[in-house]
Structure 1
Amino acid sequence: MRQHIVRIAIGLLVVLAFLGHVARFYQIGFITQLDNIMYDYRLRLTMPGTVDERIVILDIDEKSLAVPELGRWPWGRDKISALINKLFDKYGVVIIGFDVVWAERDESSGLKVLDQLMKNQLRSVPQFGAALENLRPQLDHDAMFAKTIAGRPVVLGYYFNSDPDARESGALPPPVLPAGVFAGRNIGFSSWNGYGGNLPELQAAAVAGGHFNPLVDFDGVSRRVPMLIEYKGKYYEPLSLAIVRLLMGLEEAGRTNNSTVKLPAIAPYLAETKSKGYGGLERIDVGPLQIPVDEHVAALIPFRGERNSFRYVSLADVYFDRVPVDTLQGRIAIVGATAPGLFDLRSTPVGSVYPGVEIHANLVAGMLDHNRGAIKQKPPYMIGAEVVLLIIIGVALTLLLPLLSPLRATLVSLVVLVLVSGFNVMIWSGANMVLPLASSVLMIAALFALNMSYGYFIESRSKRQFTELFGQYVPPELVDKMAEDPEKYSMEGRSEELTVLFSDIRGFTTISEGLDPKQLSAFINEYLTSMSLVIRNNRGTLDKYIGDAIMAFWGAPVMDPEHPRQGVLSALLMQEEMYRLSEAFVARGWPPIKIGVGLNTGVMSVGDMGSKLRRAYTVMGDAVNLGSRLEGITKQYGVGIICGQRTRELVTDVIWRELDRVRVKGKDEPIAIFEPLGFDNQVSKEKIEETKLWNQALRAYRAQDWDQADMLLLNLQRMSGGAYLYETYAERVAHYRKDPPGPDWDGVWKFETK
């Protein structure tokens, strides 16, 4: 794990960066934007897409603006009053909500001019004053409008302004909650600096009023509407909530046969009621209606679909009685503008040009469908849930990815990404909650990219250094395996049971004298290359070249339980390669070659050894020295390979021929030495029979039965065509006949030279 500390530390910093964004310590714009895009996409995928017949939008469209007899917008209040009477009396609408502000007085009747005349020029004409007072109710369109809406289920709209220099104009409706209700609580109400309300007498006559201020996110898109706006310590509701509360009051009055309509009270539900430690509101309760809100006390707009998810009726058609009664009867009517010149078009998740009036209609429909979870929940404690999710995912991936290969890291990252996305969809659909997804997705992608890039740029460099270090000794496939976990293959010295090989060209001095320098270079290069490939192809580690001699070993730096067998296999293949090279050399006019190979298995020291000026990854120890001695005595027995006793014990699928028991130079303990003839399925029956006969001769020799030994050796020489090994033993028998070794002889041959 230690080699991954830097990567883990950087990964944890990445996780902390995302946590800071999620916990609102700062905002990273592109993450917020991606969250908005993902939210919009999920919303569009899950919208009902049907037209809601409960709500009708009375459209101030271009047709309504083009009727000469109605005049330009805003129409005279007398016409609006007539329209309201018609909507209630003829068409039977339930409620009228105005997405319009009646901020200025209606002077279209000329009453203001007549009042000026009464005060000035016609002041002395009593008949004029009396006539004017008789006509005033007909000419005061604002008073007429106020009288028309008084006592009727009409909700007026108004707006708040967040501009720094915003002013107050008109009148606000009574607040829905008293001042100080949230005293001492840190609730993130949106900030406003002024408002534009209706004429005081109009607002006073209306049963309710509501703002039509959607919150605009930094990308210019409206996704939420504040359910409560705080202004100078008082709290105000939106147009949609005022309409629904009025509808609930009408229904209650109808059930109780009460002529007085009372709007049900608003009861804020604190988030800390459910989740201790979290401020803010979780929802707004109005009787059985529960409206989920976020940390800014805003509700997500439950869009039913794209534009025209509600029936639109031209206001002019209603005025001129061109609309069937059943189109409007029993419905909620919201008056609003879609005409481009009135600038009530907004950017929303479902359309970049979307009528603002339809936002109110969507919210009204969502509140009416509250028992079906039409409005998604995003309570303040979802921030905590997202923080916990990021910590779990981030820490897990930070610790896990550095340990995996690129393929496995990719698969794990994809699986986590799918699980997180699936959990998010489950929360969205099953729990009706919005859990932001962008931070999780981007964090997973960032951690994956970090590990991949770190592995590519940093670990690739380390791997190259590692390869440069071990590549000269070890086959490429073993270097790749070692590079996956460099710490496991330290250069530090250690003791291991390994197998070492020494090889040498016999008579190389004579060969080199017969070649010019260029030929000698080509000769030795081809020989060393061929033999080295045999060793490397069988998982051997090349130690060094000493002239024509080769030193190699098996079992380090990569552990190999079959190191003795790989060594024996390499020695046998080197003999085969020797014959191939000899033929090639003779064809070029060069002399043929014979090589001797010594192989020994034992405990030896392995590691990076040498001086400050030059070091090498090598092996040392008595077992190594013995391997060198065994190579040196191959020519004494006329064989190509001699192995030590431990090698013979560990390799059981080879036909062995015991050569002798010897005491090499510098050693007191005798050892048995063996020649590998080949693997079980590669040695001929004749050679096996010859080996059996040889074993009999060796037993006779060690028993000092010189006659039996001499007879068997003579037969062996005939069978093999005069093998040097048999001739050597025949000479020993002749020597011991003349000079017997004595009864204490142990059959060991002692070498006085290396």
Structure 2
Amino acid sequence: MLKRKWLISTAACVLICLFWSFLYSLGTGGSLNMLESALQDRVMVQSDAERAPHTDINIIKIDQKSLEALGQFPWDRGMYAELITMLAEAGAKAIALDVVLAEPGNNPDSDAMMAEVMRKYPNVILPVVFNFKARQNAPGEMETESILYPADTIGAGRNQVGHINVMQDNDGTVRMLTVGLEATDGEVVPAFSVKLANYLLDAGNQVQWKEKESAWYRGTERIPLNNRSQIATEFYTKPREEITLQTGYDSQSFVDVYTGEIDAAYYENKVVLIGPYAPGLQDEYLTPLSTTLKMYGVEIHANMVQSLVAGKFLTKASAPVNYSIIIAMTLLSLLLFERFTGIKAFAVYGAVALLFLSGWVLSYFMKNYFIAVTYPFLSLSSMFIFTVVMHYVTERKERSRVTNIFGRFVPRTVVDEMLASGEEVKVGGQRRDISVVFVDIRGFTPMSEKLQPEQVIQVLNEYLDICTKAVFKYNGTLDKFIGDGVMAIFGAPISQPNHPEMAVRAALEMKRQSAELEERCLREIGVPVRFGVGVNSGPAVVGNIGSEMLRLDYTAIGDTVNLSARLEANAKPGQILISEETLARVQGIFKTESIGEIKVKGKEKPVLVTEVVGAVDVESASIERRDGEE
């Protein structure tokens, strides 16, 4: 039984591991992965002090104010050339224009102005856009359909471009910075933010692609990218956050700088990003900081720049590590929850879950390391639920088994009543008022001599079956078989106010049912098999008696039991003898004949004994009562 239970639990453990591992292997799709991302978002939220924006990163906004003053988009490229020239001449460290200029403009002179700017100021960065195939061959792949470089009329060099692709997760949220993308010619195009971050980093910490190792480095530190060349980005500003002493990137309207209202010298030694900052320009995305308010693309690039400068790279655990955690949590659950049951199991589950979640949070804050949380936690919970159900089913089976076993000693109705009452059957004895019945076969020894052993057993079983059914019919408890004798208790373990009556009725039932057996034995073997029955009522110690560690018997002991046995020993074949105490309790219910006083073993004085002949007819008893009243 125990081995079978462990086999079932082990099989369930394996299936649970495989199930959650399979779901994890499906990748970033599905609500569970969204939950995983949401939990990571909550942990990564920083306080205002922690997310203070970099003071050398500035944003020039193409906002509604600028659109109203300079006209609707797209603008003439000469305006960008003029503004960039102003900033470059004022000493800006780097200038990034987050506006796609992939096609030649309508005004060739304006393109020529931009080309001159690009030639004269190498610290100007223009965007490259990668267009990916709508249907990829496999999860995680990023097969390119086309790449939009700045138009040839602008003449941007390869060192003056960076991709501006903002990758969204399946829930539409931007969490990752794609450090570099591979072009169709094999060249790796760094992100917009990589190009700008290098202007804020010293020579020893530059972000660069090492082709020999096929890896990105920040200085000597390898950047822990996923299989899509991505790293989680930290966010230092909330969407559209205005600048204060500690929050929001320093930002101004395009028109204010372009018209000279804000002096270009303000941007000396700054990294400047110029980009759309108005809803109608369709360059806004959800971020972990808000599920409703979107952040403009230029803000996201600014945050990505600062993430690279800070160098606080978040590492997500690899698939093998997460698979190992799922397996470990499931096995731990199996070992713990097979050992602990009930309330203890719930307490252990809560403690393990709390420790795991605490370790998950600490691994991020101390090591910038994220392990999967949803799948290991669900594997823990699944195994917990399984073991709780298993314990319940096992307990129900055991209860049913014990009930069936106990049901062989007492009637099913008594068993059900005991279970419904919720009372414990205590180890040890209780003083109870009961009636005890002893039954024995008269003529069993001569019968045994005439029959084969198999026939003896058959007759004995028929006799015992008659006794057992009679006891159960009247809600008695079959105490034990003693050779060819039977001991039964009435009034325990469930109290019966009329237990003396039930005991005598059971004895009469045995006498009635044994008539056929007696006749058959007389006909077949020439020896009548008849019962002798003794019944006594009174106090006795009833309970589980024996070795608590090895074996217990539910029985009754005391003088009441002894006298019942003595009465049975003195009963002639077919006689039912009852004591004076039992007679007093069943007076008027049965037809009786006084035997008188007899000397029994164990008693100094003779005891008054009465034979029960049969039950009083109900109609006759009523007539007698009426006659008595008259």
Q: TM-score, normalised by structure 1?
A: 0.55
Letter of the 1:356 partner, please give it. G
Distance 1:242 1:598, change over 3 A: farther
CA–CA separation in structure 2 for the residues paired with 1:288 and 1:59: 35
Per-residue CA deviation, residues 261-317 of structure 1 (Å, 9 max, x unaligned), is x987422696xxxxxxxxxx7x62143465331222101111124222322211111
Aligned residue in 1 for 2:114: 145
Aligned residue in 1 for 2:302: 361
Give the root-mean-square deviation of aligned CA atoms.
4.7
The alignment partner of 1:292 has SS state of coil
CA–CA separation in structure 2 for the residues paired with 1:557 and 1:295: 70
Aligned residue in 1 for 2:259: 320
CA–CA separation in structure 2 for the residues paired with 1:81 and 1:199: 15
Quote how far apart the aligned CAs of 1:190 are.
Answer: 2.6
Aligned residue in 2 for 1:72: 72
CA–CA separation in structure 1 for the residues paired with 2:382 and 2:37: 19
Aligned residue in 1 for 2:274: 335
Distance 1:471 1:59, change over 3 A: farther
Quote how far apart the aligned CAs of 1:33 are.
Answer: 1.7
What is the correspondence of 1:159-238 to structure 2 with a 5 Å cutoff? 159-164=129-134, 190-205=142-157, 207-232=159-184, 233-238=186-191
Letter of the 1:332 partner, please give it. V
CA–CA separation in structure 2 for the residues paired with 1:387 and 1:481: 47
Quote how far apart the aligned CAs of 1:629 are.
Answer: 6.9
Quote how far apart the aligned CAs of 1:55 are.
Answer: 0.7
Letter of the 2:81 partner, please give it. S
Instruction: Confirm or deny: 8 A CA contact 1:156 1:203 kept in the other structure.
Output: no
Q: Does 1:410 align with 2:346?
A: yes
What is the correspondence of 1:5-20 to structure 2 with a 5 Å cutoff? 5-20=7-22
The alignment partner of 1:52 has SS state of coil
Quote how far apart the aligned CAs of 1:80 are.
Answer: 1.4
Quote how far apart the aligned CAs of 1:429 are.
Answer: 0.6
Instruction: Confirm or deny: 8 A CA contact 2:199 2:271 kept in the other structure.
Output: no
Aligned residue in 1 for 2:455: none
Instruction: Confirm or deny: 8 A CA contact 2:434 2:490 kept in the other structure.
Output: no
Distance 1:560 1:503, change over 3 A: farther
Q: Does 1:450 align with 2:450?
A: no
Per-residue CA deviation, residues 205-230 of structure 1 (Å, 9 max, x unaligned), is 47421111122222222211221212
Aligned residue in 2 for 1:585: none
Instruction: Confirm or deny: 8 A CA contact 2:36 2:372 kept in the other structure.
Output: yes
CA–CA separation in structure 2 for the residues paired with 1:18 and 1:165: 26
Letter of the 1:19 partner, please give it. S
Instruction: Confirm or deny: 8 A CA contact 2:118 2:155 kept in the other structure.
Output: no
Q: Does 1:596 align with 2:531?
A: no
CA–CA separation in structure 1 for the residues paired with 2:27 and 2:207: 39
CA–CA separation in structure 2 for the residues paired with 1:523 and 1:144: 112
Instruction: Confirm or deny: 8 A CA contact 1:57 1:335 kept in the other structure.
Output: yes
Letter of the 1:434 partner, please give it. F
Quote how far apart the aligned CAs of 1:432 are.
Answer: 0.8
CA–CA separation in structure 2 for the residues paired with 1:78 and 1:146: 10
Unaligned runs of 5+ in 1: 112-139, 167-185, 256-261, 271-280, 483-497, 509-520, 536-544, 573-594, 600-626, 641-662, 665-672, 674-723, 729-754
What is the correspondence of 1:559-574 to structure 2 with a 5 Å cutoff? 559=548, 571=557
Unaligned runs of 5+ in 2: 242-247, 440-471, 478-487, 497-505, 509-534, 572-576, 582-599, 607-630
Aligned residue in 2 for 1:52: 54
Instruction: Confirm or deny: 8 A CA contact 2:194 2:207 kept in the other structure.
Output: no
Aligned residue in 1 for 2:34: 33
Aligned residue in 2 for 1:716: none
Distance 1:224 1:462, change over 3 A: same
Per-residue CA deviation, residues 568-591 of structure 1 (Å, 9 max, x unaligned), is xx646xxxxxxxxxxxxxxxxxxx
The alignment partner of 1:204 has SS state of coil
Instruction: Confirm or deny: 8 A CA contact 1:14 1:446 kept in the other structure.
Output: yes
Aligned residue in 1 for 2:401: 466
Quote how far apart the aligned CAs of 1:7 are.
Answer: 3.9
Q: Does 1:346 align with 2:285?
A: yes
Q: Does 1:291 align with 2:290?
A: no
Distance 1:10 1:93, change over 3 A: same
Structure 2 counterpart of 1:239, from 192, 207, 217: 192
What is the aligned residue count? 480
Instruction: Confirm or deny: 8 A CA contact 2:337 2:387 kept in the other structure.
Output: yes
The alignment partner of 2:491 has SS state of helix
Quote how far apart the aligned CAs of 1:15 are.
Answer: 1.4
Aligned residue in 2 for 1:431: 367
Q: TM-score, normalised by structure 2?
A: 0.65
CA–CA separation in structure 1 for the residues paired with 2:135 and 2:153: 26
Distance 1:549 1:435, change over 3 A: farther
Percent identity between the aligned chains?
20
Aligned residue in 2 for 1:87: 87
CA–CA separation in structure 2 for the residues paired with 1:549 and 1:531: 14
Distance 1:413 1:507, change over 3 A: closer
Quote how far apart the aligned CAs of 1:507 are.
Answer: 12
Letter of the 1:162 partner, please give it. F
The alignment partner of 1:200 has SS state of coil
CA–CA separation in structure 1 for the residues paired with 2:570 and 2:495: 23
Letter of the 1:57 partner, please give it. I
Distance 1:465 1:213, change over 3 A: same
Letter of the 1:597 partner, please give it. V
Structure 2 counterpart of 1:304, from 236, 239, 242: 236
What is the correspondence of 1:312-711 to structure 2 with a 5 Å cutoff? 312-323=251-262, 327-351=266-290, 352=292, 353-370=294-311, 373=312, 375-378=313-316, 382-456=318-392, 458-459=393-394, 461-463=396-398, 465-466=400-401, 468-470=403-405, 472=407, 473=410, 476=419, 530-533=491-494, 559=548, 571=557, 596-598=560-562
Quote how far apart the aligned CAs of 1:241 are.
Answer: 0.6
Structure whose alpha-carbon radius of gyration is higher = 1
Letter of the 1:240 partner, please give it. S
The alignment partner of 2:45 has SS state of helix
Letter of the 1:469 partner, please give it. N
Distance 1:553 1:222, change over 3 A: same
CA–CA separation in structure 2 for the residues paired with 1:306 and 1:142: 35
Distance 1:28 1:338, change over 3 A: closer
Aligned residue in 2 for 1:718: none
Instruction: Confirm or deny: 8 A CA contact 1:268 1:285 kept in the other structure.
Output: no
The alignment partner of 1:596 has SS state of helix
CA–CA separation in structure 2 for the residues paired with 1:427 and 1:506: 73
CA–CA separation in structure 2 for the residues paired with 1:470 and 1:395: 36
Quote how far apart the aligned CAs of 1:66 are.
Answer: 0.8
Distance 1:18 1:481, change over 3 A: farther
Instruction: Confirm or deny: 8 A CA contact 1:266 1:286 kept in the other structure.
Output: no
Instruction: Confirm or deny: 8 A CA contact 1:103 1:198 kept in the other structure.
Output: yes
Structure 1 counterpart of 2:209, from 266, 271, 283: 266
Instruction: Confirm or deny: 8 A CA contact 1:211 1:239 kept in the other structure.
Output: yes
Letter of the 1:294 partner, please give it. N
Distance 1:145 1:305, change over 3 A: closer
Instruction: Confirm or deny: 8 A CA contact 2:66 2:253 kept in the other structure.
Output: yes
Distance 1:329 1:367, change over 3 A: same
CA–CA separation in structure 2 for the residues paired with 1:51 and 1:247: 14
The alignment partner of 2:380 has SS state of helix
Instruction: Confirm or deny: 8 A CA contact 2:437 2:536 kept in the other structure.
Output: no
Letter of the 1:79 partner, please give it. M
CA–CA separation in structure 2 for the residues paired with 1:335 and 1:455: 65
Quote how far apart the aligned CAs of 1:377 are.
Answer: 1.5
